[in-house]
Amino acid sequence: MGELTFFLGLQVKQLKDGTFISQTKYTRDYQGMIGSLLYLTASRPDILHAICLCAHFQSNPKESYMSAVKRIFRYLKGTIRYGLFYPKNENFSLKGYSDSDYAGNIDDRKSTSGSCQFLGDCLVSWFSKKQNSIATSTTEAEYIAAGNCRTQVLLMRQQLRDYDIKEKEIPIMCHNTSTIAISHNKVFHSRTKHIDVRYHFIRDHVEKKDITLEYVSTKKQLADIFTKPLCESRFEELKNELGLIELC
């Protein structure tokens, strides 16, 4: 069988001056759990935000983080038959939802962008990601999130053209009125000069009528589930709105 190198979770390294026993692989299992859960978000958008939060602490996990991951596994055990349902229809209109949690990270005060895109009534794309820079206002955080959503819907619009489906003025639903106002304003006012130039490309696309930023009430903002922890009733409501159902 050769030299003993692994036994019951123990890694054994036999050296000239002794034997080294460790559990490096077992320690890495926490990261393996996160990787498995991230793969699962391909059909379970309801756990995406929670998994992304846990992923931030992979390099230095603590017992509290492991407890959070185990809680996610318990939730999945109770909802193991849930998945996304795509009903048959001829509605191919593209629509996006954009949201942000302002300074939600207590460690570095960075905001989280969340977005989801629908083709008709079907959820086809979603993401939750911590923003690269610190936003200095709710408007800036929402504006950056809308810019990320814009990139995704324009990419999807290009893909639809391959099927001879031409979309114009794709609506992006946002519940921040200041963000909508900035997207229609051609003048860089003093309060928006601090926002990185690359995020202002959203105004160019609004002018070209590629997209439109439209107001949606907080209650109807479906991207909420990708940016912040929610109470059970709100979580269940959004889960249903995304088309996540239990297979009977």
Contact 213, 183 (CB under 8 A): yes
| Mean pLDDT, the chain, integer | 85
Query: Would you state the pLDDT for residue 189?
Result: 55
User: 40: which residues sit within 8 A by CB, 6+ positions away?
Assistant: 47, 76
For the residues 18-45, what does the mean pLDDT come to? 76
Cα separation, 173 vs 246, in Å, equals 27
Contact 151, 185 (CB under 8 A): no
pLDDT digits (tens, 9 = 90+) for 171-224: 999 999 988 988 887 665 555 666 766 667 788 888 888 999 999 999 999 999
For the residues 132-153, what does the mean pLDDT come to? 89
Could you list the beta-strand ranges (E) of 120-242: 122-130, 170-174, 211-215
Contact 218, 224 (CB under 8 A): yes
**Domain 86-246 fold:** Nucleotidyltransferase; domain 5 (3.30.420)
Q: How many percent of the chain have pLDDT more than 90?
A: 37
Sketch the domain layout of the chain as residue ranges.
6-80, 86-246
How would residue 34 be classed by pLDDT, with cut points 50, 70 and 90? confident
pLDDT digits (tens, 9 = 90+) for 10-26: 777 777 776 767 666 76
For the residues 31-45, what does the mean pLDDT come to? 83
How would residue 106 be classed by pLDDT, with cut points 50, 70 and 90? confident
Phi, psi of 89 (to 5 degrees): -165, 170
